[in-house]
């Protein structure tokens, strides 16, 4: 579903990318944007698409992923309120580098890419903000490459548990529903391998499932 053009500037003000802009400048951006809402499991963009809109998330959680011809996928990142995506095609004028799907109902502001790119040339501070974020992403990617090449699946899984889990009373709690396949897609392994490790960890008392939540002991050994 797509809303009318023009988004109240106070909504844009709360988005870190635009927080340095004045009311007037926010009005300019707001005129380039439309609101789009979608239910869970909607594919918002596919790798290789050629359109140049920038998406800013108002609510909901989305995953950024790559898929091969057999349907096997790897999740690169998950994004939530205040995050944005779709800036890469806009910056290098190339097809979408990854696919994005809503994991839950989501509301997004869609900013027309061509206009926004022109606007960027007048606002180096926003362009630098985008560059800083790209730089952070390359650092994360470097770490992912290192983990994939040099660490075993168990170690990668422990890392994902710690990234997804919220620290509560000395343990990590993952509130979002994650199937073994979802975890496998994050660590770049098979569902069978992840299931084997999780079963062993449950047997060892390091993990338990409680009301759809995964509770992970802080004593989880760094190596198994
Ligand atoms: P774009 O290539 O236009 O469309 C897909 C978007 O997914 C991309 O812009 C980024 O916003 C986002 N994206 C691609 N790769 C990654 C990654 N490794 N980590 C986080 N976000 C990404």
Higher per-residue pLDDT: 168 or 45 = 45
Rounded to the nearest angstrom, the distance between the alpha carbon of 43 and the centre of ligand 1 is 14
For the cut 50, the answer to whether the pLDDT of residue 178 exceeds it is yes
Nearest C-alpha neighbor of 194 from the set 172, 224, 173: 224
Q: What is the pLDDT of residue 7?
A: 74
108's CB contacts (< 8 A; 6+ apart) are 35, 36, 37, 38, 44, 55, 56, 57, 58, 60
**Residue 108: exposure state from Cβ atoms within 10 A (0-12, 13-18, ≥19):** buried
Our answer on whether the CB atom of 98 is closer than 6 Å to any ligand 1 atom is yes
Our answer on whether the CB atom of 17 is closer than 6 Å to any ligand 1 atom is no
Q: What is the pLDDT of residue 87?
A: 95
The H helix count followed by the E strand count for the chain is 8, 13
For the cut 50, the answer to whether the pLDDT of residue 93 exceeds it is yes
From 65, 87, 89, 98, give the residue whose CB has the most ligand 1 atoms within 8 Å, as the site to mutate.
98
Quote the tokens at residue 19. Answer: 């927080």
Rounded to the nearest angstrom, the distance between the alpha carbon of 77 and the centre of ligand 1 is 8
Our answer on whether the CB atom of 89 is closer than 6 Å to any ligand 1 atom is yes
For the cut 50, the answer to whether the pLDDT of residue 147 exceeds it is yes
Confidence of residue 5 (pLDDT cuts 50, 70, 90): low
Supply the pTM of this predicted model: 0.88
For the cut 90, the answer to whether the pLDDT of residue 92 exceeds it is yes
Rounded to the nearest angstrom, the distance between the alpha carbon of 200 and the centre of ligand 1 is 34
Our answer on whether the CB atom of 47 is closer than 6 Å to any ligand 1 atom is no
For the cut 90, the answer to whether the pLDDT of residue 6 exceeds it is no
For the cut 70, the answer to whether the pLDDT of residue 193 exceeds it is yes
Q: What's the average model confidence in pLDDT over 48-54?
A: 95
Dist. CA 60–CA 108, nearest whole Å: 9
Higher per-residue pLDDT: 11 or 100 = 100
For the cut 90, the answer to whether the pLDDT of residue 186 exceeds it is yes
Our answer on whether the CB atom of 88 is closer than 6 Å to any ligand 1 atom is yes
Yes or no: say if 2 and 53 are a contact pair by the CB < 8 Å rule: no
Confidence of residue 15 (pLDDT cuts 50, 70, 90): confident
Q: What is the pLDDT of residue 3?
A: 46
153's CB contacts (< 8 A; 6+ apart) are 187, 189, 193, 194, 197
For the cut 70, the answer to whether the pLDDT of residue 224 exceeds it is no
Ligand 1 atom closest to the CA of 89, numbered from 1 = 3
Our answer on whether the CB atom of 87 is closer than 6 Å to any ligand 1 atom is yes
Yes or no: say if 130 and 87 are a contact pair by the CB < 8 Å rule: yes
Rounded to the nearest angstrom, the distance between the alpha carbon of 209 and the centre of ligand 1 is 32
Q: What is the pLDDT of residue 137?
A: 96
């Amino acid at each position: 579903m797509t809303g009318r053009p023009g988004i109240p500037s106070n909504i844009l003000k709360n988005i870190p990318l635009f927080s340095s802009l004045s009311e007037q400048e926010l009005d300019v951006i707001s005129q380039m944007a439309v609101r789009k809402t979608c239910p869970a499991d909607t594919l918002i963009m596919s790798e290789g698409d050629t359109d140049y809109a920038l998406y800013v998330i108002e609510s909901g959680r989305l995953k950024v992923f790559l898929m091969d011809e057999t349907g096997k996928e790897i999740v690169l990142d998950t994004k939530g309120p205040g995050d944005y995506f779709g800036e890469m095609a806009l910056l290098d004028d190339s097809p979408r580098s990854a696919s994005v799907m809503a994991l839950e109902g989501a509301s997004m502001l869609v900013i027309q890419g061509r206009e926004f790119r022109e606007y960027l040339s007048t606002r180096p501070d926003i362009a630098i903000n985008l560059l800083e974020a790209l730089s952070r992403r390359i650092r994360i990617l470097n770490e992912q490459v290192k983990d994939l090449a040099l660490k075993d699946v168990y170690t990668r899984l422990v890392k994902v548990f710690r990234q997804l889990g919220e620290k509560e009373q000395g343990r990590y709690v993952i509130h979002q529903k994650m199937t073994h396949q979802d975890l496998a897609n994050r660590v770049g392994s098979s569902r069978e391998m992840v299931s084997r490790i999780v079963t062993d960890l449950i047997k060892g008392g390091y993990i338990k499932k409680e009301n759809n939540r995964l509770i992970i002991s802080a004593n989880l050994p760094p190596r198994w």
